[in-house]
Structure 1
């Protein structure tokens, strides 16, 4: 278990309980179960206290937790007959973006998502989930395919933002993001997006310009990272806690603002503590959100999606 900074007291208690049980395994005469159970109870109570009112900065830490399920985990567990498709038919295949055709509860869909990687080797290979232009152009190709064959599009968002490197800029990073966002607004099939971790900047918007947007309970979605915001506004990256508060980047804030449509509950302690339960919740959420668009005409779907984004930001304002 990887513990976050604010979880250190929890780590100590759980560590002591495990230590006691390890000692008992090496000595059959020791009976520590009652003491270990008392520590388990103390740890469970502390976990509830820690997670019942997380600050925005702590939610950022949870959203970035390395043990959270990633895109490939959701695809493997929720979808069947997944057939990956690679390349943008122009420059290369971007491993930070994975996607292809699959079935969700036997319904044909196209699934696209950011993949961060799960260890050092795969994180480097996946560029930490930061897509290059070819990744967004691959997504556009897959959305065109979905539109042609009348298959809903599901996107799983988990990126700190689009890759800002020199090569990406030379190959038209901003144009590729804009084209992906434009394509989301054009296709006549349902689009459902779930922010499963970080939803950073235009790199996230390019996949999340959807009919229905959901966020996991402890995920974040923002125009810029708290560290980047603090560096710009206060010239001090250390003020990321204040920036996180100001950005209104939590699922709870964004639901109130009308930016997202649903919050998907996470297991107590975050998705990293019970990966399978989190994956199951996302699967049920996807099926439920897709069902809300059954029977809607293609023209009406595109029109409603466009109106959704034109109206965004007016919630709660007087007419």
Structure 2
């Protein structure tokens, strides 16, 4: 288990409980289970206290936790007959965005998601979930395919933002993001999105301009990272805590503003402590969102999507 900075006291308690059990395994005559269980109860109480009222900055840390389920985990568990499609038919295949044809609850769909990778090798291969222009052009190609065959589109959002490198900019990064966002608004099929970790900047919006948007309880979604915001506004990246609060990037804030349509509860301690339960909850949310859109024709779906984005913020202003 990887512990976050604010979880260090919890790490000490859980570490002591594990040490006791390791000693008992080495020496079966030792009876330490009562002490270990007492530490377990203390750890659970502390865990509840730590996660009872997470600040925006701590939610950012949880959203970035390396042990959270990633896009590939959701696809492998929730979808069957997944057939990946690669390349943008123009330049290359971007591994930061994965997608293809699949079945969700035995229903043919197109699924597209941002994959960060789970170890050093895969993170480098996936560019830490930061897509280049060809990644967004691949997404456009997949959405065109879904539109042509009348297949719902499901997108899984988890990126710190689009890749800002020189090559990406030379190949038209901003244009690719804009066209992907435009394509989201145009496709005459149901489009639902789930923010499973970070939803960073235009790199997230390009796939999340959907009829319905769900966010995991401890996920975040914002126009810029707290560190980037602090560097611009205060010339000091260390003010990221203040920036996180000001950005209103938590699922709870965005639900109030009408950006997120629903919040998916996470297990106590975050998705990283209950991966299977989290994936199952996301599957149920996707099914519910698709059901809400059943029966609407293409024109109604496009109108619904445009109206959603034109009305963003109205709920928060009214309150």
- Shift of residue 297, structure 1, vs aligned partner: 1.3
Does 1:156 find its partner at 2:170? no
- Shift of residue 316, structure 1, vs aligned partner: 4.5
SS at match of 1:112: strand
Q: Give deviations 1:158-190, integer Å, cap 9, x for gaps.
A: 000000000000000000000000000001000
Paired with 1:317 and 1:126, the residues of 2 have a C-alpha distance of 39
> Which 10-residue stretch deviates more, 293-302 or 307-316?
307-316
Q: Give deviations 1:103-159, integer Å, cap 9, x for gaps.
A: 000000000000000000000000000000000000000000000010000000000
* Aligned 8 A contact 2:256 2:316 in 1: no
SS at match of 1:196: strand
| Residue of structure 1 in register with 2:295 after alignment | 295
| Residue of structure 1 in register with 2:244 after alignment | 244
TM-score by length of 1: 0.99
| Residue of structure 1 in register with 2:233 after alignment | 233
| Residue of structure 2 in register with 1:112 after alignment | 112
| Residue of structure 2 in register with 1:195 after alignment | 195
Change (3 A) 1:317 1:45: closer
| Residue of structure 1 in register with 2:8 after alignment | 8
Paired with 2:148 and 2:305, the residues of 1 have a C-alpha distance of 19
Paired with 2:292 and 2:155, the residues of 1 have a C-alpha distance of 17
SS at match of 2:195: strand
How is 1:165-180 mapped onto 2 (pairs within 5 angstroms)?
165-180=165-180
Paired with 1:173 and 1:155, the residues of 2 have a C-alpha distance of 20
Q: Give deviations 1:56-90, integer Å, cap 9, x for gaps.
A: 00000000000000000000000000000000000
Question: How many pairs align?
Answer: 318
What 5-or-longer segments of structure 1 have no aligned partner? none
SS at match of 1:315: helix
Does 1:270 find its partner at 2:270? yes
SS at match of 2:124: helix
Paired with 1:284 and 1:115, the residues of 2 have a C-alpha distance of 21
SS at match of 1:189: coil
| Residue of structure 2 in register with 1:99 after alignment | 99
Paired with 2:177 and 2:65, the residues of 1 have a C-alpha distance of 26
SS at match of 1:292: helix
Q: Give deviations 1:276-296, integer Å, cap 9, x for gaps.
A: 110000011100110000001
SS at match of 1:89: coil
How is 1:273-284 mapped onto 2 (pairs within 5 angstroms)?
273-284=273-284
* Aligned 8 A contact 2:258 2:316 in 1: no
Does 1:204 find its partner at 2:193? no
Q: Give deviations 1:187-236, integer Å, cap 9, x for gaps.
A: 10000000000000000000000000000000000000000000000000
Q: CA-atom RMSD, angstroms?
A: 0.7
Large movers: runs of 4+ above 3 Å: none
Does 1:128 find its partner at 2:134? no
Q: Give deviations 1:8-34, integer Å, cap 9, x for gaps.
A: 000000000000000011112110000
Paired with 2:27 and 2:317, the residues of 1 have a C-alpha distance of 68
